[in-house]
Amino acid sequence: MDALIVYPQNKEQLDALKAVMKAMKISFKQTETAYPEAVVQGVKNSLQQAENGNLSTYTGIKDMLEAK
Protein backbone atom coordinates (compact mmCIF):
# COMPACT_ATOMS: atom_id res chain seq x y z
CA MET A 1 0.00 0.00 0.00
CA ASP A 2 1.16 3.56 -0.62
CA ALA A 3 2.36 5.88 2.14
CA LEU A 4 1.54 9.56 2.59
CA ILE A 5 3.66 12.36 3.96
CA VAL A 6 1.63 15.34 5.14
CA TYR A 7 2.75 18.77 6.29
CA PRO A 8 0.19 20.39 8.58
CA GLN A 9 0.66 24.14 8.86
CA ASN A 10 -0.27 24.43 12.53
CA LYS A 11 -1.16 22.46 15.66
CA GLU A 12 -4.88 22.52 14.89
CA GLN A 13 -4.34 20.83 11.53
CA LEU A 14 -2.02 18.29 13.12
CA ASP A 15 -4.55 17.46 15.83
CA ALA A 16 -7.37 17.14 13.26
CA LEU A 17 -5.32 14.82 11.05
CA LYS A 18 -4.38 12.64 13.99
CA ALA A 19 -8.00 12.44 15.13
CA VAL A 20 -9.23 11.42 11.67
CA MET A 21 -6.53 8.77 11.28
CA LYS A 22 -7.23 7.34 14.73
CA ALA A 23 -10.99 7.27 14.00
CA MET A 24 -10.35 5.43 10.72
CA LYS A 25 -7.84 3.08 12.43
CA ILE A 26 -5.04 4.20 10.10
CA SER A 27 -1.62 3.60 11.60
CA PHE A 28 0.81 6.52 11.48
CA LYS A 29 4.16 7.60 12.84
CA GLN A 30 4.85 11.15 13.94
CA THR A 31 8.34 12.66 13.66
CA GLU A 32 9.60 16.14 14.38
CA THR A 33 11.69 16.50 11.23
CA ALA A 34 10.96 15.75 7.61
CA TYR A 35 14.52 14.54 6.94
CA PRO A 36 16.30 11.40 8.14
CA GLU A 37 18.95 11.99 10.78
CA ALA A 38 21.73 10.90 8.39
CA VAL A 39 20.77 13.69 5.98
CA VAL A 40 20.65 16.30 8.75
CA GLN A 41 24.05 15.18 10.05
CA GLY A 42 25.54 15.26 6.55
CA VAL A 43 24.39 18.84 6.03
CA LYS A 44 25.78 19.87 9.42
CA ASN A 45 29.12 18.23 8.58
CA SER A 46 29.25 20.00 5.21
CA LEU A 47 28.49 23.37 6.79
CA GLN A 48 31.24 22.81 9.36
CA GLN A 49 33.72 21.91 6.60
CA ALA A 50 32.80 25.10 4.74
CA GLU A 51 33.29 27.19 7.89
CA ASN A 52 36.73 25.58 8.30
CA GLY A 53 37.65 26.47 4.71
CA ASN A 54 37.67 22.87 3.51
CA LEU A 55 36.10 23.62 0.15
CA SER A 56 36.71 22.22 -3.30
CA THR A 57 35.52 23.49 -6.65
CA TYR A 58 32.82 21.42 -8.33
CA THR A 59 33.55 21.15 -12.05
CA GLY A 60 31.33 18.24 -12.97
CA ILE A 61 30.29 14.78 -11.91
CA LYS A 62 33.01 13.14 -14.02
CA ASP A 63 35.77 15.08 -12.24
CA MET A 64 34.23 14.30 -8.87
CA LEU A 65 34.12 10.56 -9.62
CA GLU A 66 37.67 10.48 -10.97
CA ALA A 67 39.02 12.16 -7.84
CA LYS A 68 38.25 9.10 -5.72
Number of separate domains in the chain = 1
Q: What values do phi and psi take at 43, rounded to 5?
A: -65, -45
Q: Are 28 and 22 in contact (CB under 8 A)?
A: no
Does a structural domain hold residue 28? Answer: yes
Does a structural domain hold residue 3? Answer: no
Burial 12-28 (b: 16+ CB within 10 A, else e): eeeeeeeeeeeeeeeee
Does a structural domain hold residue 49? Answer: yes
Query: How many percent of the chain have pLDDT more than 70?
Result: 96
Q: Model confidence over 36-58: pLDDT tens digits?
A: 889 989 999 999 999 999 987 77
Does a structural domain hold residue 59? Answer: yes
What is the distance between the alpha carbons of residues 18 and 1, in angstroms, rounded to a whole number? 19
Does a structural domain hold residue 5? Answer: no
Q: Model confidence over 21-30: pLDDT tens digits?
A: 999 999 998 8
Q: Are 55 and 49 in contact (CB under 8 A)?
A: yes
